[in-house]
C-alpha cells in the first residue's frame, strides 16, 4: 500500500451489488456516512465483482462482531479464573481487563516474558515487561541487536487474532504480579519460590492450556449465549447484505464454531421480522446461505480437511459416516474442506470471495492453497485511521524533521570532514515517534504497517475493512 492519504477505497453500490466503485481517501475529510471510517472498504488491487460467483463468510469477528471491551473482559475473566483454579495465586483475581493496553499482533517471548512489537524484519519497535515499558539499555540487555528471529516459533508466539487480546493482557498481568510479589525471586527466565521455579515458558503453556479449556469446555460460548445483547453487536445491515449478495451469487458460511453456538448466534443476527409493520414471519437464518459448514477446523479446512458429515439439527449431533452426495439446501454440514465446498457449490478459485478476520487462517491459507479472492475484516484499523486524522500533525512534524535532517548532509560527500551536530533533531524525532506510538495504546503503539504492506497486500487479501 502507498500512503494512506492516497489509498483506494471501494464501496459496494447498494443499488447494484456487482459494481465496485473506487475513490480516493482523504482521511481529514469528514464526508458522509458512506465515508465514515467503520463503513470504508479498502481495495488493494482491482477486483471486478462481476467475476465473483460465490461469497463465503466466516462467523466469529466477521458476521458476528463482538462488543469491545465487554467480550475481551469476559474472556480475560475466564482465563484468569481458570489459572487460579489450577493453583495460581488468588491475588491474580484483583486484575481486571484494561482495553487500553493490548493490541493485536504483539509477540510474546517465552524465554524472557516480554511482549514485543516488531516489524516485518524482526526489528524491535516496542518492548514491555509486565506493565513496564522498557527503553534503551534495558532492551539491549535482552536483545543486543534489537532484533528477533520471527520464524523461531518455539520461542516467539504471535498473538495475531482478536481472541488473543485477553490472553495478551493476561501475560502482562502475570509478569507484573510475580515481579512485584515479595514471595518470588526475580530470575532472568522466570521466578523462584523456594524449590519451585516458575519459568516464563511454563506460564505461557499454562495460559495456552487455559485458553484451550475456555474454548473447548464451552464456558465462553455459554456465557456469550446467555447475554447476547451484552456481547454481540446486532447490526441490522447484515441480513440486508446477505440477501442482496444472494440475489447475484452463491453464499456459504464456514466457521470453526460448533452447530449449537452457530445456530444461536445466527438466529440472533439474522432472524428478524421481514416487516415490522405487517408482522411477517421471521426468515430462517439458514435461508440466507446456500451452504453452511461448521466445525471446519481452519486452517486444516484449506488443506487436507476432515471428514464431511451432516448435522442433525434437532439434537446437534453428527450423523454417522462421510457425506458423499450432492448439496442439500437447508442441511448443515460439519468438517469437510475447501475442496468439498468448491465441489458442492460448483465454483472454483478466483470465482470465490472469502470474508474473514484472521489474516493467516482465513486469508493467506485460502489465497495460497485455493486461489480464492479474499476480504479481511480488520476493525482495529478504525483506531489507526482515527489517529492518522486526529494526530496528523505528528506525522507532518516527523516528515519535516526528516527533510530538515537531510539538509545537513545534502552537500556532503565521502571526502567531507565536517560532522554536523544533529543531536537535537534526533532527540526531537525520538520524542515525536514515541508520541505517535502512544497514540495507538498505552504501551504497544502502532500496528506494524510494514507487515500489512508485505504480507497482506502482496501475499494475502484483496479487500479489507
Q: Which residues are catalytic?
A: 58, 60
Distance CA 265, CA 232 (A): 8
Torsion of CA 140, 119, 179, 201, to 10 degrees: -100
Closest of 202, 195, 270 to residue 232, by C-alpha: 270
DSSP 363: I
- ∠ at Cα 462 (392, 335), nearest 5°? 125
Phi, psi of 67 (to 5 degrees): -70, 130
In the block, cell 487474532 appears at 161
User: Which residues contact residue 387 at a Cβ distance below 8 angstroms, ignoring those fewer than 6 apart?
Assistant: 436, 439, 440, 446
Inter-residue contact 323 to 309 (CB < 8 Å): yes
Indicate the length of the chain as a whole number. Answer: 465
Residue pair 200/112 in contact (Cβ under 8 Å)? The answer is: yes
CB contact at 8 A, 296 and 254: yes
Answer positive or negative: Cα dihedral of 170, 174, 180, 186.
negative
Cα–chain center distance at 118: 16
Positive or negative CA dihedral for 326, 328, 329, 335?
Answer: negative
Is 156 strand, coil or helix?
strand
Strand pairing class (352-356; 54-57): parallel
Using CA atoms, how far apart are residues 198 and 137, in angstroms rounded to an integer? Answer: 25
In the structure grid, which three cell numbers stand for residue 160, read together?
Answer: 495475531
Strand extents, DSSP E, 170-301: 185-187, 190-193, 196-199, 250-254, 291-294
Q: Which of 433, 456, 437, 455 is nearest to 446 (CA)?
A: 437
Amino acid at each position: 500500500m502507498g500512503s494512506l492519504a492516497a489509498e483506494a477505497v471501494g464501496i459496494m453500490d447498494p443499488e447494484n451489488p456487482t459494481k465496485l466503485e473506487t475513490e480516493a481517501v482523504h482521511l481529514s475529510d469528514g464526508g458522509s456516512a458512506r465515508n465514515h471510517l467503520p463503513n470504508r472498504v479498502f481495495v488493494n488491487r482491482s477486483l471486478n465483482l462481476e467475476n465473483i460467483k460465490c461469497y463465503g463468510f466466516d462467523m466469529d469477528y466477521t458476521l458476528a462482531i463482538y462488543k469491545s471491551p465487554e467480550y475481551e473482559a469476559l474472556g480475560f475473566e475466564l482465563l484468569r479464573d481458570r489459572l487460579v483454579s489450577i493453583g495460581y495465586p488468588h491475588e491474580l483475581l484483583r486484575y481486571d481487563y484494561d482495553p487500553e493496553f493490548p493490541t493485536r499482533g504483539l509477540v510474546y517471548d517465552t524465554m524472557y516474558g516480554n511482549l514485543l512489537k516488531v516489524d516485518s524484519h524482526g526489528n524491535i519497535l516496542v518492548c514491555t515487561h509486565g506493565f513496564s515499558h522498557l527503553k534503551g539499555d534495558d532492551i539491549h540487555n535482552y536483545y543486543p541487536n534489537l532484533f528477533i528471529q520471527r520464524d523461531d516459533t518455539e520461542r516467539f508466539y504471535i498473538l495475531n487474532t482478536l481472541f488473543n487480546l485477553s490472553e495478551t493482557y493476561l501475560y502482562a498481568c502475570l509478569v507484573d504480579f510475580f515481579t512485584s510479589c515479595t514471595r518470588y525471586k526475580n530470575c532472568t527466565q522466570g521466578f523462584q519460590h523456594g524449590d519451585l521455579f516458575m519459568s516464563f515458558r511454563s506460564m505461557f503453556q499454562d495460559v495456552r492450556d487455559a485458553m484451550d479449556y475456555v474454548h473447548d469446555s464451552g464456558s465462553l460460548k455459554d456465557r456469550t449465549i446467555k447475554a447476547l445483547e451484552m456481547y454481540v453487536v446486532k447490526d441490522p445491515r447484515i441480513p440486508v447484505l446477505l440477501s442482496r449478495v444472494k440475489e447475484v451469487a452463491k453464499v456459504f458460511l464456514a466457521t470453526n464454531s460448533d452447530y449449537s453456538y452457530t445456530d444461536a448466534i445466527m438466529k440472533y443476527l439474522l432472524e428478524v421480522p421481514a416487516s415490522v409493520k405487517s408482522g411477517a414471519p421471521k426468515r430462517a437464518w439458514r435461508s440466507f446461505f446456500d451452504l453452511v459448514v461448521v466445525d471446519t477446523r481452519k486452517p486444516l479446512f484449506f488443506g487436507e480437511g476432515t471428514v464431511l458429515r451432516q448435522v442433525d439439527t434437532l439434537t446437534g449431533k453428527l450423523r454417522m459416516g462421510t457425506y458423499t452426495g450432492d448439496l442439500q439446501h437447508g442441511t448443515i454440514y460439519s468438517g469437510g474442506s475447501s475442496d468439498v465446498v468448491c465441489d458442492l457449490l460448483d465454483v472454483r478459485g478466483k470465482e470465490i470471495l472469502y470474508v474473514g478476520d484472521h489474516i493467516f487462517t482465513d486469508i493467506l491459507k485460502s489465497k495460497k492453497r485455493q486461489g480464492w479472492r479474499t476480504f479481511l475484516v480488520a476493525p482495529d484499523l478504525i483506531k489507526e485511521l482515527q489517529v492518522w486524522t486526529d494526530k496528523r500533525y505528528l506525522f507532518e512534524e516527523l516528515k519535516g524533521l526528516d527533510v530538515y535532517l537531510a539538509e545537513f548532509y545534502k552537500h556532503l560527500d565521502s571526502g567531507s570532514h565536517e560532522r554536523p551536530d544533529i543531536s537535537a533533531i534526533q532527540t526531537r524525532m525520538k520524542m515525536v515517534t514515541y508520541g505517535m506510538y502512544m497514540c495507538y495504546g498505552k504501551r504497544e503503539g502502532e500496528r506494524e504497517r510494514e507487515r500489512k504492506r508485505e504480507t497482506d497486500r502482496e501475499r494475502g487479501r484483496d479487500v479489507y475493512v
